[in-house]
Amino acid sequence: DAKTTQPTSMDCAEGRAANLPCNHSTISGNEYVYWYRQIHSQGPQYIIHGLKNNETNEMASLIITEDRKSSTLILPHATLRDTAVYYCIVTYGQNFVFGPGTRLSVLP
């Protein structure tokens, strides 16, 4: 079973920041938080991952709380092409367990 819980769906206005939350209250000390997304009919695409510190790359930012029990993925300026299912996964040394994810709809 997935170790994360995410909202089933979210809407975001185009051009605004999309903030996708994830709860992982049972995360262990060495487990990383990964975010992937899946656009219809395509293979999952890596977005970002982190352990303790906040991370930023060209796609997104990852904010991890100090107790590491939750995190937020931030897409700073959402576009219509960001409409997808977003998966939050915690893992270390094993496979990726995908939950149902959050279906993000970016609206014009």
Stretch that binds another protein, among 19-27, 40-48, 53-61, 65-73 (CB under 8 A): 40-48
- Residue 93 binding another protein, by CB under 8 A: yes
Residues 72-91 touching another protein, rule: CB under 8 A, are 87, 91
Of the two residues 95 and 108, which places its CB atom closer to another protein in the complex?
95
Measured CA to CA, the distance from residue 86 to residue 6 in angstroms comes to: 9
The beta-strand segments (E) located in 1-108 are 9-13, 18-23, 32-38, 45-50, 55-56, 61-64, 70-75, 84-91, 102-107
Among positions 15, 39, 46, 52, the unique one binding another protein when judged by CB under 8 A? 46
The neighbour count for residue 6, using CB atoms within 10 Å, is 22
For residue 5, give every residue at least 6 positions away whose Cβ sits within 8 Å of its Cβ, in sequence order, or none.
22, 23, 24, 99
Of the two residues 93 and 108, which places its CB atom closer to another protein in the complex?
93
- Residue 43 binding another protein, by CB under 8 A: yes
Interface with another protein (CB under 8 A), residue total 23
Contacting positions for another protein (CB under 8 A): 30-32, 34, 42-46, 49, 51, 87, 91-101
